[in-house]
Amino acid sequence: MDKLTISNKYVRFGISCFNLLYLLLISVLAMWAFLYTIELKNETSFYIVYIALNVIFFVLMMMTRNQFFTRIVSLLLLIPVFILVLFSSSAPAMFIPPFVVGVLMFFICGAGDTPKIIWGSFYLILFIVGIVVFYIISTLFGGSAVETILDSSVTDTAITDEYDMDKIAELNANSVSPDGKYRYYIIDVQDNDRGKVIIVVEPNDMDVNYRFFTLVEEGYSVRIAKYSTRGVTPDIEWVVNEDYNESGETTAASYKLRYRFGENAEWKASTITIPTSKNYLTFLNVD
């Protein structure tokens, strides 16, 4: 392992300072995972770059494992990784690389035994107790219902056989309001009863686009309609909101959503009023 050590102390110090960038990058990624839904534009390209970055920083940290800043990064890295584990559980490739780096560097770095014992005990409690508590709270508040957004990515026949997926595709193709400010999507809910069909509206102009991924904002979504039995494909269309006043006298949107659940059902319309503050607990899936 000594062969991986850099002899020049100034170079070691510089690389050690540079390693702080890795802690910052993983912390920002964890924050994004909590605040947004990370939608990858090209999974292959993203994960190639992502894994390469993790490998590069792992090598750099190995070569400067006894430096002060590298020890700091090694001891603190698993905190943002824990957040990634919680909020990126459906995409293991997002948290596995930094998790492996964090665990290996925790034992390899030159920190003393006392800090390692203290931080090691903390991480054991954090990952074991923290994850269990998180899923207990999610189950208690969110219930046992399974929510699935109906789109082309759904391949489970237990869901697709319940709906007219061709009609769903047409609805999704016209999900953005004519002014581009809002979009809707349809959720299938499987629970211990008859299930539900829910129409959700959210802003369409609050997403953040990057080269490899998009940060999809979900904290301002509104569940405007709910049907108490799953398997019913709704009719949905955007219509002009006659009550809208461009002078700002009303906070309602310039368009509203017209919908019905079933061809013989009565058409209903719902005015779109987006919350003024972000909901940080969307992961609980509370109706």
CA distance 263 to 267: 9
What's the pLDDT tens digit per position in 8-60? Answer: 888 999 999 999 999 999 999 999 999 999 999 999 999 999 999 999 999 99
DSSP bridge partners of 237: 258
Average pLDDT over residues 198-217: 93
CA distance 255 to 257: 7
**Residue position matching structure tokens 């006392």:** 114
Q: Is a pLDDT exceeding 60 seen at residue 242? A: yes
Model pLDDT, residue 241: 85
Model pLDDT, residue 274: 85
What's the pLDDT tens digit per position in 122-145? Answer: 999 999 999 999 988 887 776 677
Per-position DSSP letters for 116-154, written without gaps between them = HHHHHHHHHHHHHHHHHHHHHHHHHHH-S-EEEE-STT-
Q: Phi and psi for 264 in degrees, rounded to 5?
A: -95, 0
Model pLDDT, residue 33: 94
8-state DSSP, 67: S
pTM of the full predicted structure? 0.85
Model pLDDT, residue 65: 92
Burial of 72 (0-12, 13-18, 19+ CB in 10 A): middle
Q: How confident is the model at residue 84 (pLDDT cuts 50, 70, 90)?
A: very high
22 CB neighbour count, 10 Å cutoff: 22
Model pLDDT, residue 250: 46
Model pLDDT, residue 287: 53
